[in-house]
């Protein structure tokens, strides 16, 4: 089930109706209501996930049961060795499922090619029943997200940073909570599981901001992302785009991917807020980042912090020598690239960002304007340079073939005729016009205190209600008039 | 976590504010939507295909017709009627628009062919995998405009399939468009956005129409890369797209495949009349003494010339074939043809147009046992309409 469908609208209405109906019989107590609501949300989440492909439920249920058991056993284990064994068992199951469904095709393709090149039998990997099955079933949506979320809880319990839960239903809801199940934010136990554990009391301000967030998310997806997608897809379908056309496509893709992913997060956060949950923040004006490190503090924040806490720091983090830090950064970003997709372009994208993050501090030391103390001029330069580097990265992200990448990086801007510059500029201008609300509306919504859930009494005055109504009307008007007729799934569904 | 409502605000006032938020948030766009110009009546409205059902109907009854081919760019890139006529001796015509799918093929069949009075002996429909039972595939964008042109006031089969299939969301969409009064405004609004983009990037003083044509020519079919393995299912075009090279084939081949799109394809064959137009094709053809033939095209093969079925479709294809056989329809399938190797293909699942003549011979040799020899004159003379 996708957010940008009326099916989801009706689904959400049904879920909300049932959810609040379970809160009604107040004589049964808050604890009863919470448990009943959690069960209701779990059923809703499984319906949401299995809507198109019911067998995916087997995967998420397996992950849930294994990790719930692991957290219980880790807590109960009397020795460090016992705790370690359960942690390792959980991680093996989690990442085996992820690797089998996400990376087998990539692995098989490359091994087969390698075997073929040395004249060895090569088809056994893809023709045996298991290999054939894995190649043909496709990638279950959201598998990377719920695997990481559940694994983080097991690791946190192992580290003593979280406690195991007694209720399988509560844990299963934490893993499968439908607003953020398919494309994040990747929640932590200290945030989402805490809220699952306690009674929720959705507030009026939460409802108002939740509704505006949902419609703002739909606006970003249906108007901005899908419109930019049409332009970017056109360019990336060309056999031999010239330099200006290709980079116009990359800039259009930059608008598309930000609006697309941010849209999902906002609809997820808005939907959760209607239920009284507050999800983690995932974006913070990433294109205004002043360095690659800053970009990763602003883009897909929950994934960045996951890799920081569970990969980078265990690898030694930045508290080691230059070589050790470089190694940790590169491994972290390589894995981050692979997390996004099983193909070589994502590997390159990860390594590219790893190098940027590793090299930037040295560059900033050598070029004063790139340093934080460079003043306003320095800020503009840093934002522009970071924006450009990020978009070179988007080319690696969007162009899936190595031959296409080779061709793209060999283009000469001076060979392109004026007509191509005109067309390229036109495409970029069109995409940026669609993307303009990202610059204008976002600060407005923030100033209206609509993005964080706030209980500021001023928000409950008629003045604020009027402003919020206008924000909602703007989003809805944009959606009904400018929604793209070319629907597409959220990009991050594929990860 | 969100805590309880602020105590100073009464429950009644809180609910009134929420109702105001929703009411004003919805009423304002609806009012503006109804105040916007009616795009259908303004002169720059139509960006859709150059397809006029009345012209097509006239065309079909001009000459005897023995065999009509219906499909999309799969058909356009494979066959020219003249080649097949020459090879087979049948009087062959074609009704094909790039990017169309079964809902439009049904309207071609009912509201163009049958309504014209022409009665070919055979109608062949070209399809891929589960196209025939995926009625809501590609009915948006420019195809929505085509559907508007093709539909009549009375479409019981359409209502049965479309309403029965996706009742609540389908009705919600219609209700929303009526409520907000913006049924046709997307093209209009997009054109305005593109105009602004053109104004901002005016180089060498080209006019808007010329710039749109320039873009469409630059992104035409023959400039698309050849390594996009699949058809994208994307029916979007740059607004005001015109097809300088004939039929609108480009719509079938633009962006890379969208995995989400194919997740929605039916993988279980459902022969019920509420599930697809297929049973309606068969019933209508029988009423008018027309025999139906369904031809499955081969999708873009790998370097070894193979394109094995996905396991999920194997059962579907078996069930489809059994159903068509039961209903007395002819069926052919080129997907096992090893000779249709990668070098026959241009982009996506389209064949290189240079191969249309040899393909006509190949196609005829495949279907001849079922279609049989042509009647005298190659076909039937047209019947009175109705």
The mean pLDDT value of chain B amounts to: 76
Residue B79 or residue A343, greater confidence = B79
pLDDT > 90 fraction of chain B, expressed in percent and rounded: 28
Q: How far apart are the first and last CA of chain B?
A: 67
Cβ neighbours of A341 in B, within 8 Å: none
Residue B315 or residue A447, greater confidence = B315
Cβ neighbours of B172 in A, within 8 Å: 6, 9-10
Q: Which fold has domain B14-386?
A: Rossmann fold (3.40.50)
Catalytic residues of A: 340
pLDDT in tens, B239-248: 333 332 333 3
Angle between helices A168-176 and A30-50 (to 10 degrees): 50
Q: How far apart are CA A327 and CA A150, in angstroms?
A: 27
* CB pair distance less than 8 Å for A238 and B224: yes
Instruction: Measure the CA dihedral B236/B241/B244/B245, to 10°.
Output: 10
Q: Mutation target for A interface from B21, B137, B257: give the one with most A CBs within 10 A.
A: B21
Which of B71-80, B144-153, B209-218 is most confident? B71-80
Query: What pLDDT sits at residue B315?
Result: 81
Residue A386 or residue B55, greater confidence = A386
Q: How far apart are CA A311 and CA A333, in angstroms?
A: 10
* CA A59 to chain CA centroid, nearest Å: 20
Q: How far apart are the first and last CA of chain A?
A: 16
Residue B362: which residues within 8 A CB-CB, separation 6 or more? B334, B337, B339, B340
Query: Exposed/middle/buried for A1, CB within 10 Å: 0-12, 13-18, 19+?
Result: middle
pLDDT category at A256 given cuts 50, 70, 90 is very high
**Out of A194, A230, A245, closest to residue B236 by CB:** A230
Lowest mean pLDDT among A187-191, A293-297, A424-428, B263-267: B263-267
Query: What pLDDT sits at residue B244?
Result: 29
pLDDT category at B290 given cuts 50, 70, 90 is very high
**Out of A229, A238, A473, closest to residue B28 by CB:** A473
Strand partners for B122: B67, B291
Query: What pLDDT sits at residue B352?
Result: 86
Whole-number Cα distances in Å, B93 to A116, A342, B83: 48, 46, 11
Using the predicted structure, report yes or no on whether residue B238 has a pLDDT greater than 50: no
Whole-number Cα distances in Å, A154 to A280, A305, A320, B315: 19, 16, 27, 41
Mean pLDDT over B347-371 rounds to 90
| Beta strand residue intervals within B269-324, DSSP E | 291-296
Give A160's DSSP letter.
T
Mean pLDDT over A21-45 rounds to 84
Taking Cα atoms as reference points, which of A43, A51, A60, A46 lies closest to residue A1?
A: A51
Using the predicted structure, report yes or no on whether residue A386 has a pLDDT greater than 90: yes
* Closest chain A residue by Cα to residue B348: A237
Angle between helices A322-340 and A344-366 (to 10 degrees): 140
pLDDT category at A29 given cuts 50, 70, 90 is confident
Query: What pLDDT sits at residue B6?
Result: 44
Hey, what are B319's tokens?
A: 């069930």
Taking Cα atoms as reference points, which of A216, A275, A257, A288 lies closest to residue A451?
A: A216
Residues in chain A: 495
Q: Mutation target for A interface from B236, B345, B348: give the one with most A CBs within 10 A.
A: B236
Hey, what are A298's tokens?
A: 């602003």
Query: What pLDDT sits at residue A2?
Result: 75
Query: What pLDDT sits at residue B2?
Result: 40
Q: How far apart are CA B57 and CA B79, in angstroms?
A: 21
pLDDT category at A494 given cuts 50, 70, 90 is low
Q: How far apart are CA B170 and CA A96, in angstroms?
A: 40
Residue B254: which residues within 8 A CB-CB, separation 6 or more? A233, A234, A237, B219, B224, B232, B234, B236
Task: Please identify among residues 203-242 of chain B the ones whose CB lies closer than 8 Å to any CB of chain A.
Answer: 203-204, 206, 211, 214-215, 218-219, 223-228, 232, 234-238
* CB pair distance less than 8 Å for B214 and A483: no
**Contact, A164 vs A107, CB < 8 A?**
no
Query: What pLDDT sits at residue B254?
Result: 33
Using the predicted structure, report yes or no on whether residue B378 has a pLDDT greater than 60: yes
Q: Domain coordinates of chain B in residue numbers?
A: 14-386
DSSP labels, A83-95: HHHHHHHHHHHHH
Mean pLDDT over B217-223 rounds to 65
The minimum CA-CA distance between B198 and chain A, rounded to whole Å, is: 6
pLDDT category at A317 given cuts 50, 70, 90 is confident
The mean pLDDT value of chain A amounts to: 85
Helix (H, G, I), strand (E, B) or coil at B93: strand
pLDDT in tens, B98-122: 878 899 999 999 999 999 999 999 9
Residue A148 or residue A204, greater confidence = A148
Mean pLDDT over B15-44 rounds to 71
Longest dimension (CA), chain B: 90
Mean pLDDT over B276-292 rounds to 95
Query: What pLDDT sits at residue B36?
Result: 73
pLDDT category at B349 given cuts 50, 70, 90 is confident
């Amino acid at each position: 089930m996708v957010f940008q469908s009326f099916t989801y609208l009706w689904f959400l209405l049904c879920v909300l109706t049932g959810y609040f109906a379970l809160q009604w019989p107040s004589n049964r107590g808050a604890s009863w209501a919470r448990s009943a609501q959690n069960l209701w949300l779990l059923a809703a989440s499984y319906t949401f996930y299995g809507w198109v492909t019911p067998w995916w439920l087997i995967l998420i249920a397996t992950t849930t049961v294994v990790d719930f058991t692991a957290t219980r056993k880790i807590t109960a284990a009397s020795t460090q060795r016992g705790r370690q064994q359960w942690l390792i068992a959980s991680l093996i199951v989690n990442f085996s499922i992820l690797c089998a469904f996400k990376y087998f095709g990539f692995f098989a393709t490359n091994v087969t090619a390698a075997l073929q090149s040395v004249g060895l039998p090569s088809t056994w990997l893809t023709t045996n029943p298991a290999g054939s099955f894995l190649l043909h079933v496709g990638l279950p949506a959201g598998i990377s997200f719920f695997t990481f979320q559940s694994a983080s809880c097991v690791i946190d319990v192992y580290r003593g940073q979280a406690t195991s839960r007694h209720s399988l239903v509560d844990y299963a809801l934490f893993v499968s909570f439908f607003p953020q199940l398919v494309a994040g934010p990747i929640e932590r136990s200290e945030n989402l599981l805490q809220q699952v554990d306690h009674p929720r009391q959705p507030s009026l301000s939460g409802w108002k901001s939740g509704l505006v967030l949902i419609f703002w998310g739909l606006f970003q997806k249906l108007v901005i992302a899908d419109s930019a997608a049409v332009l970017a897809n056109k360019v990336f379908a060309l056999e031999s785009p010239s330099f200006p056309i290709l980079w116009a496509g990359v800039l259009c893709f930059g608008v598309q991917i930000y609006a697309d992913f941010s849209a999902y997060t906002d609809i997820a956060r808005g939907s959760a807020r209607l239920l009284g949950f507050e999800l983690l923040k995932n974006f913070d004006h990433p294109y205004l980042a002043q360095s690659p490190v800053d970009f990763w503090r602003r883009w897909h924040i929950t994934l960045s912090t996951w890799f920081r806490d569970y990969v980078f720091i265990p690898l030694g983090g930045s508290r080691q020598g230059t070589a050790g830090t470089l190694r940790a950064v590169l491994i972290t970003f390589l894995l981050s690239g692979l997390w996004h997709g099983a193909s070589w372009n994502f590997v390159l994208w990860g390594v590219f960002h790893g190098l940027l993050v590793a090299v930037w501090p040295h560059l900033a030391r050598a070029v004063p304007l790139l340093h934080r103390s460079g003043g306003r001029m320095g800020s503009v330069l840093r934002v522009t340079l970071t924006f450009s580097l990020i978009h070179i990265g988007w080319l690696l992200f969007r162009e899936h073939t190595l031959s296409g990448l080779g061709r793209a990086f060999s283009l000469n801007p001076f060979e392109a005729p004026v007509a191509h510059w005109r067309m390229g500029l036109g495409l970029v201008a069109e995409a940026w016009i669609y993307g303009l609300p990202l610059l204008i509306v976002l600060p407005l919504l923030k100033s209206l205190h609509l993005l964080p859930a706030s209980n500021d009494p001023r928000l409950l005055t008629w003045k604020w209600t009027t402003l919020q109504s206008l924000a909602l009307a703007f989003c809805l008007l944009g959606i009904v008039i400018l929604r793209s007729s070319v629907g597409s799934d959220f990009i991050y569904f594929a990860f | 976590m969100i805590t309880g409502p602020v105590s100073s605000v009464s429950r009644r006032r809180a609910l009134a504010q929420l109702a105001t938020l929703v009411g004003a948030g919805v009423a304002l766009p609806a009012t503006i939507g109804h105040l916007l110009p009616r795009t259908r009546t303004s002169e720059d409205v139509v960006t859709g295909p150059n397809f006029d059902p009345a012209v097509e109907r006239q065309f079909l009854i001009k000459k005897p017709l023995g065999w009509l081919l219906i499909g999309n760019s799969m058909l356009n890139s494979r066959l020219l009627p003249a080649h097949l006529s020459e090879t087979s001796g049948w009087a062959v015509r074609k009704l094909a628009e790039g990017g169309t799918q079964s809902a439009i093929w049904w309207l071609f069949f009912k509201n163009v062919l049958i309504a014209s009075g022409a009665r070919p002996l055979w109608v062949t429909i070209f399809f891929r995998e589960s196209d025939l039972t995926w009625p809501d595939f590609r009915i948006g964008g420019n195809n929505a405009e085509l559907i508007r042109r093709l539909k009549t006031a009375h479409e019981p089969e359409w209502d049965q399939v479309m309403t029965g299939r996706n009742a609540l969301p389908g009705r919600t969409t219609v209700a929303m468009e009526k409520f907000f009064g913006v049924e046709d405004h997307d093209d209009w609004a997009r054109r305005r956005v593109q105009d602004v983009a053109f104004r901002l990037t005016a180089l060498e003083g080209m006019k808007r129409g010329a710039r749109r044509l320039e873009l469409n020519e630059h992104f035409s079919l023959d400039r698309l890369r050849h390594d996009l393995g699949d058809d994208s299912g994307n029916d979007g075009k740059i607004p005001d797209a015109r097809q300088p090279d004939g039929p609108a084939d480009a719509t079938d081949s633009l962006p890379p495949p969208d995995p989400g799109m194919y997740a929605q394809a039916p993988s279980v064959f459902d022969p019920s009349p509420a599930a697809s137009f297929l049973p309606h094709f068969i019933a209508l053809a029988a009423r008018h003494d027309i025999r139906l033939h369904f031809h499955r095209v081969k999708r873009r093969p790998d370097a070894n010339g193979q394109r094995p079925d996905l396991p999920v479709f194997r059962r579907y294809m078996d069930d489809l074939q059994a159903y068509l056989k039961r209903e007395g329809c002819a069926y052919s399938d080129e997907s096992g043809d090893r000779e249709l190797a990668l070098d026959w293909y241009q982009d996506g699942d389209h064949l290189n147009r240079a191969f249309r003549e040899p393909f006509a011979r190949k196609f005829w040799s495949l279907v001849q046992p079922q279609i049989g020899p042509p009647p005298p004159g190659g076909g039937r003379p047209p019947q009175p309409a109705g």
